[in-house]
């Protein structure tokens, strides 16, 4: 198998858990973006990047954007983690659009996007993430129940709790894609 790097940025653990699973399944080198000082892209044919979704942006995705020249011609995969259910087509489309919009055009065109569910533990959230979720809950709670999306219901049902929707087997299609299966 060709040289593969799995790079992730994780605030609360879901992106990290998937990264460990993917790296092990692929026999890839694993990197925590927070610990990378310099990265030698020339060593890798494939780069897998993962990060959580926060306010419509992928945590750490700027890493790929800022290295567009070094990534030219490489196989790229980006996975996102979040509360949104990736079995709902509209959620996947929105996440793919978010990723591709954040990347320079040539890189976006060569990137395959995968979406996984994460989790949330309100006791562990930073002040800003906690405030963001409180505002989101406030907005959602004013909607009529029949107008709520599945994701909005999930937010209301799980608000203030610790929930974990991670499912490592959800990463198997990414692993198969990288292996060329």
We report the CATH number of the domain holding residue 91 as 3.40.50.360
Sign of torsion, CA 85 90 92 94?
Answer: negative
**Which of 38-42, 43-47, 66-70, 83-87 holds the top average pLDDT?**
43-47
More confident residue, 84 or 5: 5
pLDDT in tens, 119-134: 888 888 889 888 988 9
d(CA 98, CA 79): 12
Split into its structural domains, the chain has a count of 2
More confident residue, 2 or 120: 120
pLDDT in tens, 168-179: 999 999 999 999
pLDDT in tens, 9-22: 998 889 999 999 99
- pLDDT (average), residues 14-31: 96
Statement to judge: residues 132 and 172 lie in one domain = no
Tell me the helices (H) and strands (E) count for the chain, helix number first.
8, 8
Residue 26: the pLDDT is 97
Q: Is the pLDDT of residue 85 over 50?
A: yes
Query: Which of these, 69, 50, 68, lies nearest to 60 by C-alpha position?
Result: 50
pTM of the prediction? Answer: 0.87
pLDDT band of 47, cuts 50, 70, 90: very high
pLDDT in tens, 97-121: 888 888 888 888 889 999 999 988 8
Statement to judge: residues 51 and 127 lie in one domain = no
Provide the angle, in degrees to the nearest 10, between the axes of the packed helices 172-179 and 14-26.
40
Residue 1: the pLDDT is 47
Residue 24: the pLDDT is 97
Statement to judge: residues 78 and 129 lie in one domain = no
d(CA 60, CA 49): 9
More confident residue, 26 or 148: 26
Statement to judge: residues 113 and 174 lie in one domain = yes
Q: Is the pLDDT of residue 181 over 80?
A: no
* Domain range for 126: 122-162
Statement to judge: residues 106 and 91 lie in one domain = yes
On the 0-12 / 13-18 / 19+ scale of CB atoms within 10 A, 152 is middle
């Amino acid at each position: 198998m060709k040289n593969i790097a799995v790079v992730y940025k994780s605030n609360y653990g879901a992106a990290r858990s998937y990264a460990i699973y993917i790296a092990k399944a692929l026999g890839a080198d694993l990197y925590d973006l927070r610990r990378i000082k310099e990265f030698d892209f020339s060593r890798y044919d494939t780069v897998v990047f993962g990060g959580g979704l926060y306010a419509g942006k992928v945590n750490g995705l700027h890493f790929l954007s800022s290295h567009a020249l070094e990534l030219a011609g490489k196989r790229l995969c980006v996975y996102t983690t979040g509360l949104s259910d990736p079995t709902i087509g509209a959620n996947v489309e929105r996440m793919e659009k978010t990723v591709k919009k954040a990347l320079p055009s040539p890189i976006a065109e060569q990137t395959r996007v995968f979406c996984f569910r994460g989790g949330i533990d309100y006791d562990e959230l930073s002040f800003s993430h906690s405030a963001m979720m409180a505002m989101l809950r406030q907005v959602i709670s004013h909607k009529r129940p029949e107008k709520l999306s599945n994701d909005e219901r999930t937010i209301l049902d799980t608000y203030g709790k610790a929930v974990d929707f991670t499912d490592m087997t959800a990463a198997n299609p990414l692993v198969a894609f990288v292996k060329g299966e």
